[in-house]
Amino acid sequence: MARRAVHAEITAVAESLFREQGYDATTVDDIAERAGISQRTFFRYARTKEDLVLGEYDRQGEHMVDVLRSRPAEESPWTSLRHAFEVVVAPRREQANRARAKLLHSIVESSPALRAAYLDRMELIQRRLVDVLTDRAPDTESRVVTRALVGAAFAALHAVMEACDPDGEGPDTFAADLDHVLARLEPTGTQR
């Protein structure tokens, strides 16, 4: 049976349970039972309970790394990063995706442990982005500065994601908000 399908089924079941009774109140046994599998099988398809929620962010991260790699080396890091962030911005143009993103975010915020794990994923993604940037243009900037630059850009992204939390039905201000904060934060001498 398609490994993928089983994983998707487990994730779907888990998500509905998380929505119904909360992340912490939902045990792995609950999920396994409703999915009709044993706990042991659950762990064969899902690395951890956290992964069910954070997998999405991992995929986005991978995608961001890909986008960043495809950007021209002459481009300023700040601009390249903004393009990489399009991975997060673009889906939000559709209401359904926005709702889903907010649901995920609220689940993440509901549990300190989950939030911590989330932040760790972000950290790992940032490190990979730093690698891409330093590889593509060595010597232009010290690794420390690049590290800080990526961190700053993520801080902007993070801030905007957090702010748009209140379940707005209005149009998508995400891109505009991000651009605003990013512009406000843009380091003085980014352009190489």
Q: In the bound complex, what is the minimum distance in angstroms from residue 115's beta carbon to DNA? A: 15
Task: State which of residues 47, 59, 143, 192 lies at the interface with a second copy (CB under 8 A).
Answer: 143
The interface partner of residue 40, options being a second copy, DNA, none and the CB cut-off 5 to 8 Å by kind, is: DNA
Q: Which residues of 70-88 are buried (b: 16+ CB within 10 A; e: fewer)?
A: ebeeebbbbebbbebbebb
Q: In the bound complex, what is the minimum distance in angstroms from residue 55's beta carbon to DNA? A: 13
Stretch that binds a second copy, among 12-20, 33-41, 69-77, 110-118 (CB under 8 A): 110-118
Q: In the bound complex, what is the minimum distance in angstroms from residue 22's beta carbon to DNA? A: 11
Taking the C-alpha atoms of residue 181 and residue 176, their distance in angstroms, rounded to an integer, is: 9
Kindly state whether residue 176 participates in binding a second copy, applying the rule CB under 8 A: no
Kindly state whether residue 112 participates in binding a second copy, applying the rule CB under 8 A: yes
Taking the C-alpha atoms of residue 167 and residue 148, their distance in angstroms, rounded to an integer, is: 31
Q: In the bound complex, what is the minimum distance in angstroms from residue 53's beta carbon to a second copy? A: 14
Kindly state whether residue 156 participates in binding a second copy, applying the rule CB under 8 A: yes
The interface partner of residue 159, options being DNA, a second copy, none and the CB cut-off 5 to 8 Å by kind, is: a second copy
Kindly state whether residue 145 participates in binding a second copy, applying the rule CB under 8 A: yes
For a second copy, the closer CB: 93 or 127: 127
